[in-house]
Chains A and B, each alone.
Chain A
Amino acid sequence: MDRSEKTGLGVAIVGHVVLFGLLSASLLWRRPPTFSHPPMDVTLSTEAAMEAAAPVVTQHPAQSQAPEQGPPEESAEAKPAPLTKVEPQPIAPQPKPAPAPKPAEVAKPQPPKKQPAEKPKPQAAPAKAKGEEKDAKKPKERGSLLGPDFLKGITAEKSTSQAQAPRASKIGPQDIANIAGLIKRQVQPCYDLGALKGTSAMSIVTIINLKFRPDGSVSSATLVGQTGVDGSNQQYRQQIFDLSRRAVLRCSPLKGLPAELYQGGWQNIDFTFRPSDFG
């Protein structure tokens, strides 16, 4: 290695060090990436109730920004329907539940007289899934922090959250949807396609009407109809009916359904069995 090579090598090394330094420094001025869309909350409700389930809020709700008129409403807490496994967990500062309604009855919350923009709706506490509940900070999920004198409502500590997501929302007249969802979750695990998986039977959609007794057991099963039957899967019609019916029979009696919604509700159900998501 002669002198010129050493010089060249030295210059190259110094040059690389400088370049590395410059690139590293440039990162210091970069702002960390931010989420432009806040993550969506998804609630897995495990119960049906007269009142809609409140979404489990995983973000800390933002503090109210505006003064509020009047005291917070005390709302009745929806009572868990009988036969459910999920224990409603007490949430410390939540509005007090009304005197406990009878089991199997679900108390209707009184509609709030006023609807300030930020005011959370009455929550149906038991509708929360156990697991997710642990993650949510209970003290922040309470009702409004504002009293008649809103200054009293301001806590000493600063809110840690910027979330604008509502704390709870009614899903409208969704009792039916709740029950349907609850029934679907009970029956789905028993929907075993067995030998028919992967055959042309997967395009047959079967509708079966089932009548239930008040204890959740099946009293009758009647085929309403099948669609998607063609020459290639005609041979599977009986089999797909059998295993669809068996799904309900294996996973019944149905549990956790409110008795008030039996008549005109889950007493009489049309099940649509769709073997393939594309069917």
Chain B
Amino acid sequence: MGIIDGLPAHIEKFPGGGLLMTGVNYILNEAKASSMWYMLFGLACCAIELMATGASRYDFDRLGMIFRATPRQTDLMIVAGTLTLKMAPRVKLLYDQMPEPKYVIAMGGCTIHGGPFYHDSYSVLKGVDKIIPVDIHVAGCPPRPEALMNGCIQLQNLIRTERLGHERDRPGLRIITPRQIPGQPPVNSLAPGGALIRPNEIPILG
């Protein structure tokens, strides 16, 4: 952690420091919110609605959002579609490969709590927030482009409430701990064929 995490608290103690930090926060948050580049992460039917929202009628580019194919250049991951247990390690690795600051929108019922696959499905991970922390949940099956657009605007509002030096509180976070799996030792390297989490070991709440 650089001094940027501890400095704002010191600056705010001085008279006028709060005003300065408000200005700095405003600029940084506007910069972050107005150019969220999202990762093309369509898994299933919600991906079609994601593409439709990015197309000309409901345009993502007017919010400054451009899709990127690689996680290294993105700040936002819109998880669009059903997440199966077999795909979960890949999602986790891709999320970890995104540089900070990063945000996640869980799009559609399947990523929120399993959606139509909640009952009687052995292979669907019921909710993407079991493996990555989610900021905005957009409900729908699939959500209409207007709903997804509203979700992205809500994400922009969420970003504007952030303050430098104060870690963001994530109420959508359910299980994530510094270890990949609670009770397992943390994974620090990845051999070919390895995975950060194994489908059989993903902790599953009912």
Q: A and B from one assembly? A: no
